[in-house]
Amino acid sequence: MVSNKLFFGQIVIGPPGSGKTTYCTAMRSFMEAAGRKVAFVNLDPANENLPENCEVNIQELITLSDAMEKLNLGPNGGMIYCLEYLEKNLKWLRTKLNALPDKTYLLFDCPGQVELFSNHQSMKNIVRQFQNWDYRITAVNLVDSHYCADPSKFISVLLLSLSTMLHLELPHLNILSKVDLLEKHSNLPFNLEFYTDVMDLSYLIQDLEKDEFGQKFAALNSAICELIEDFSLVTFMTLSVRNRSNLLRIMKAADKSNGYIFGDAKAEAILGATFAAEDFRFFRAQDAQEEYMETG
């Protein structure tokens, strides 16, 4: 009989290359500085860039290469099989997790195949089992911010994010990652707040219709944008893993959504003492910048 333990955590999802492992590593270091017990849980059977301190690793159960070789599957079919295999062997995962100290904060690093989170059932079933075990989990969906530079790609990102939110049925944070690179290498048609707040998408339609391809599918693009706006669910936070203020805001948002702020008063006291000065410096810098802009 597996004992019950209370865990909080984030299940980190997103397309390939969006920075999931980098985010998990940075967030772990950030949380540990606040006095939290944190564990890195790898659910990607093909991840070759794991940190040294990975407490739970699906590759001890199954790897993508083994599934492809033994079952003659391609990469996508092999990945789906691995997740289905994990679903059938959740007792193994629960045993590994219950070996961790009580109230450990879990960071689940997940595969990048988006169909696993938007329409396939295995990850949804795994997440439901987490809830049955009384794990308090928030989905953190990372999207590379360079998609903002292309209106058609950004609309696709919005639709995929909405589909994932509805499919997983978890508290959900959408994150635009690598914003430091976006500011250096991309010229956005609108300011960044337009994309984070998902404002009036009709402006994107106007931008799309500047080329022949966009004009051809104007009605479809308009219908997709109306669908996204009708649900009014998708907004984004921004992330640069080098920016402590970004990490702090995401951590606080996750804490509110999964109830961590009500679960461990001692850890929250340490957190408040550690980062109060960080908050003050951040907002003081913001005020100074605004004052500079106003005075010219």
Q: Tell me the per-residue pLDDT of 38-76, one tens digit each, with 9 for 90 and over.
A: 999 999 999 988 988 899 999 999 999 999 999 999 999
Reading the block at residue 34, the tokens are: 């606040």
CB–CB of 45/79 below 8 Å?
A: yes
The domains of the chain are located at: 8-198+234-289, 200-233
Q: What is the pLDDT of residues 168-177, one digit of tens each?
A: 999 999 999 9
CA gap 36, 28 in Å, rounded: 9
pLDDT at residue 282 greater than cutoff 50? no
pTM as predicted: 0.86
Q: What CATH fold (topology level) applies to the domain 8-198+234-289? A: Rossmann fold (3.40.50)
Q: What is the pLDDT of residues 117-131, one digit of tens each?
A: 999 999 999 999 999
Q: What is the pLDDT of residues 218-272, one digit of tens each?
A: 888 888 889 898 888 899 999 999 999 999 999 999 999 999 876 555 545 545 5
Q: Which helix (DSSP H) or strand (DSSP E) does residue 140 occupy?
A: strand 136-144
pLDDT at residue 291 greater than cutoff 90? no
pLDDT above 70 coverage of the chain, percent: 85
Reading the block at residue 41, the tokens are: 């849980």
CA gap 225, 207 in Å, rounded: 13
pLDDT at residue 289 greater than cutoff 70? no
Give the model's pLDDT for residue 284: 45
Neighbours of 273 (CB within 10 A): 11
pLDDT at residue 34 greater than cutoff 60? yes
Mean of all residue pLDDT scores within the chain: 86
Give the model's pLDDT for residue 296: 41
Give the model's pLDDT for residue 235: 95
- Give the three-class secondary structure for 156: helix
Q: Using the Cα atoms of residue 116, residue 119, residue 125 and residue 130 in order, give the sign of their dihedral.
A: positive
CA distances from 206 to 33, 68, 266 (A): 46, 45, 52
| pLDDT band per the 50, 70, 90 thresholds, residue 103 | confident
Q: Using the Cα atoms of residue 287, residue 288, residue 293 and residue 296 in order, give the sign of their dihedral.
A: positive
CA gap 145, 207 in Å, rounded: 18
Residues 269-289 have a mean pLDDT of: 48
Give the model's pLDDT for residue 92: 97
CB–CB of 40/107 below 8 Å?
A: yes
Please tell me what DSSP assigns to residue 201. T
Amino acid at 157: V
